[in-house]
Every structure is written in structure tokens, then in C-alpha cells.
Amino acid sequence: MAGPPLRRIDFSLFKTIPIAEGTRLEFRAECFNLANTPNFAVPTAASFTNFINTSTFGRITGTLGNPRELQFALKLYF
């Protein structure tokens, strides 16, 4: 059974700051599911034999994935 399409936009920013020769600091800001779009799950049934007889037949009853997530990091390269 085909379900609704999955949509997700991820975004990241990186800034590298040189500290000394051979050493640098990197700041990262990342956002997953930037638009906070819900992705709906494929309709399911309890078992194949009772597929049509379930009360949720053909209904979307759940979501997939996570809500918007932000992640920040500092990395020191030496």
C-alpha cells in the first residue's frame, strides 16, 4: 500500500576559526526538519487476514520521524 510522501528539510551552518598554525576551531549549528513538517505513516492493519475488517482500514493513524531538532557543536582540530 502506498502512503503519503515524506518531506524533510535539513539545514546546517559551519564557521571555522583559525587559532594557530595547524589548530582551528569549528562552530556548527544544525537543524533537522527545519519546517517542522509532520510526515504521516503508511496506513496499517493488525494482520493480513483481518485487513479490511479493521476499524482503522485505510486511515492514517500515526506519524514518522521527529519534530524539529537543533544541534550545536564546537570542534577543536589540532
Cβ proximity of 17 and 27 under 8 Å? yes
- Residue 35's domain comprises 11-41+55-77
pLDDT, position 64: 83
16 domain-assigned: yes
> What global pTM score does this model have?
0.67
Cβ proximity of 34 and 69 under 8 Å? no
pLDDT, position 29: 98
19 domain-assigned: yes
30 domain-assigned: yes
Please tell me the total count of domains within the chain. Answer: 1
Q: List the beta bridge partners of residue 69.
A: 32
Helix (H, G, I), strand (E, B) or coil at 53: coil
Helix (H, G, I), strand (E, B) or coil at 68: coil
∠ at Cα 34 (29, 37), nearest 5°? 155
Note the pLDDT tens digit of each residue in 21-69: 999 999 999 999 999 988 888 776 555 556 666 676 777 778 888 899 9
61 domain-assigned: yes
